Amino acid sequence: MIDFTEYTVNTGTDELGLRVHHSRCIRFIGIELPYYQRITELHWGASVVERAYDRILALDSATHGAANLMLRSYLRVIGVDRLREILAAGGAAEKALLKMFAMIRHMPTNEGVTLIDKNDQFQTYNWTFAGVYDAIQAFAEQIAGATGIPLVRLLGQSPKGFSTGEADLRNYYDTIATQQDDDLRPAFERLLPILARSLWGRPLPDGWNFEFRSLWQPSETDKGTIATQDTQNVAGAVGAGLVTEAQALSELRDRSRLTGRWATITDEDIARAKSAETAPPPPELGEERTGPSAQAEGGQA
């Protein structure tokens, strides 16, 4: 009877394999398969390499074929009169034939002169390479489609036409971000509490969270624009009384991880802002002060 609550790990040394309970495993199945094929594969997915392997072989074969075609792009064919009889006779006749072709190989000059017998025929064959690049490019695009990686990232190929490749990279990075949230986040949410108890002997605090680093790196101009917008938004929130100055400083420092601006805000700056918020306001002019501080000042007077 098959126990579906355990996994069997083939170690290569134990014939029975290592049995691991499903609660001790984090399952990454690979690429999702159709329902019936998934049943055939025991509910495992397809390999990332398997999906692109045949496309890689096709591109490699096309590249080698194009290189061989270029080596044979210019052929010279000489039709020798009574060649079969010369080869059949051998001896002096065959040596004379070989001597003739040795002379032909050495005779051509910059003018391209070829010396042959008047009864022989000489022809050249040229090939055009129109469409070869398009065919190789099509195989490369198939690899990009199979892996989900744009050509500008996969092969370092410069974009053509009016495209800068930025849209392709953004779509690719958005796809990676989606895969991180769908596949990696559940695994990390399960592993990190266990690691916290193992390292520090206590659970993670309530409300803990984590974010994946963005793959897209903004330029200095983009960073300056984002920092300006963030500063204006935070200043407007402080002016409207929606947040305190301490919260505003904390928010600006948090955004500095992306923009590099306001990174010099320290914990002491935020603490001083909080102290200023909790301190009593100064008395207005003509207002009588009460309390221990007022009595102390009156006794000194």
Q: Is the pLDDT score of 1 beyond 60?
A: no
C-beta separation of 172 from 148 below 8 A = yes
Tokens, residue 176: 């990676």
Residue scoring higher pLDDT (14 or 147): 147
pLDDT tens for each residue of 97-125: 888 888 877 776 656 677 777 777 877 77
- Taking all residues of the chain, what is their mean pLDDT, rounded to a whole number? 81
Instruction: Give the CA distances from residue 192 to residues 21, 54, 210, in Å, rounded to whole numbers and listed in that order.
Output: 20, 38, 10
Per-domain boundaries in the chain: 6-46, 74-126, 149-212, 220-278
pLDDT of residue 301: 42
pLDDT of residue 185: 92
pLDDT of residue 60: 92
- What is the band of 277 on the pLDDT scale with cuts at 50, 70, 90? confident
- What is the band of 27 on the pLDDT scale with cuts at 50, 70, 90? confident
Instruction: Name the H helices within 107-212.
Output: 132-147, 151-154, 166-179, 185-200
Residue scoring higher pLDDT (277 or 61): 61
pLDDT tens for each residue of 157-210: 776 766 677 788 888 888 898 889 988 999 999 999 999 999 999 999 888 888
Q: Is the pLDDT score of 46 beyond 80?
A: yes
- The set of residues, in sequence order, having a beta carbon less than 8 Å from that of 258 and lying 6+ positions away, is 214, 218, 223, 226
- Cα separation of 229 and 57, whole Å? 49
pLDDT of residue 83: 86
Instruction: Give the CA distances from residue 49 to residues 45, 55, 283, in Å, rounded to whole numbers and listed in that order.
Output: 12, 10, 74
